Amino acid sequence: MPTTISGPNGEIKFGTGLPTLIIGERINPTGRKKFGQQIASGDLSVIKDEAISQKNAGADVLDVNVGAAGVNEVALLPLAVKEALTAGDLPICVDSANVEALKAALAVYPYKALINSVNGEERSLSSVLPIVKHYGAAVIALTIDESGIPETVEGRIRIVERIVERAESYGISKDDIVVDCLTMAASSKPKSALVTLETLRILSKEFGLASAMGVSNVSFGMPQRDIITKGFLGMCIEAGLTAAIVNPETEGLVSTIYSADFLTGRDDYARKFLTHYRTKIAASRNV
pLDDT tens digits, 183-235 = 999 999 999 999 999 999 999 999 999 999 999 999 999 999 999 999 999 99
pLDDT confidence bin for 282, thresholds 50/70/90: confident
Q: Give the C-alpha distances (Å, rounded to integers) separating 44 from 26, 53, 89, 143, 261.
A: 14, 15, 16, 32, 35
Global pTM value: 0.97
Q: What is the pLDDT of residue 283?
A: 80
Sign of CA dihedral 203, 205, 206, 208: positive
Q: What is the pLDDT of residue 281?
A: 87
pLDDT confidence bin for 287, thresholds 50/70/90: low
How many CB atoms are closer than 10 A to CB 243? 26
Half-sphere exposure of 160 (CA within 13 A, CB side): 26
C-alpha span between 114 and 194 (Å, rounded): 27
pLDDT confidence bin for 88, thresholds 50/70/90: very high
What's the rounded mean pLDDT across residues 57-71?
95
CATH code of the domain occupying 3-248: 3.20.20.20
High-pLDDT (> 70) share of the chain, %: 100
